[in-house]
Amino acid sequence: MISKIEYNSNDVRVFRDDIYPFLGGGNKGRKIKYIEKDIIKKKSNAVVTTGGIQSNHCRALAVLAAQNGWKCTLVLHGNPDRFKILNGNAKLMRNSGAEIIFVAANNISIAMDVAMNNYNEQGLKPYYVWGGGHTIEGGLAYIEAVKELKQYCIKESWEPKYIFLASGTGSTQAGIMAGLDNENIDAQVVGISVARDRKRAEQVVSEFYNDLIDFYKITTSNRDVTVLDDYLCGGYELFDTSLKKVSNNSLKNFGFILDTTYSGKGFYGMDDYIKRNNLCQEKILFWHTGGVLNYLN
């Protein structure tokens, strides 16, 4: 679904992945449905992944595993005591039946390998999922999502000049970029980093974009990668009063929810970019990647 909002004298449309039809929605919900196809294809019956204590990706995979009757291990980093009392994604993970293991960030890879080995020893066929759904299948989800955008553009005789989104692991941004190449849409994609510094974020997006282009044999336009780190507010999950205000007023002002960890930072960054660059009467798409469950905490 793509909706229109009146905003800062520009023609702004919103790609509503926050209401993607999977429990909790969001870009992780869209990705996980594509990853599911590969899990089924490979006849796996156990899954292992990693993320933080409010990870949308871990929530999505835990829910998917419960729906399919698969074993699931979540290797989490963060505060275990806080995890026990949080609602939203954390509560869904706790109640999903998944095995939950806490480790230091530098021990994630080892813990995931141990979980995979344990499932193999039990005679199961485990499937390894990179954090954030940063997989070829997850990237395909957004290559194909751009097909939905293309259909909208044709129907509405409208095409964005700019596309803004919150950028975390970078796979959603890379998938959108590859999808734009595939559909011959000439739009500038501006990622708003929620955690990484600009240099590292742009490197990761660029590498995964090229991986997708090569794997799916898409003719590339050699797009420039842009990820801005001006709106981190000190780091992942952190926010300032201005960002909090955007989040608190989002439902009243726009009819959708913006959280302070992901989509809110993306929207906040878009707003500032528009003002800094004096954009006026431009066609702009904000790709709402979700975060409703983060907002509810």
Catalytic residue selected from 3, 9, 44, 55: 55
Alpha-carbon distance of 200 to 150, in angstroms, equals 30
Alpha-carbon distance of 259 to 265, in angstroms, equals 8
Q: How far is residue 202 from each of residues 57, 170, 183, 190, 243, measured CA to CA in Å? A: 21, 8, 22, 10, 23
* Residue 55 annotated among the catalytic residues of the structure: yes
Q: How far is residue 291 from each of residues 12, 29, 36, 56, 276, measured CA to CA in Å? A: 20, 11, 21, 8, 26
Strand partners, 189: 163
Query: Which residues, 6 or more positions from 214, have their beta carbon under 8 angstroms from its beta carbon?
Result: none
Residues in the chain: 297
Tell the residue number behind the tokens 């929530």, with chain if given. Answer: 59
Contact assessment for residue 73 and residue 99, using Cβ atoms and an 8 Å cutoff: yes
Q: By 3-state DSSP, what share of the chain in percent is helix, strand and coil, each rounded to 5?
A: 50, 20, 30
Query: Which residues, 6 or more positions from 223, have their beta carbon under 8 angstroms from its beta carbon?
Result: 177, 180, 181, 189, 209
Question: Residues with catalytic annotation?
Answer: 55
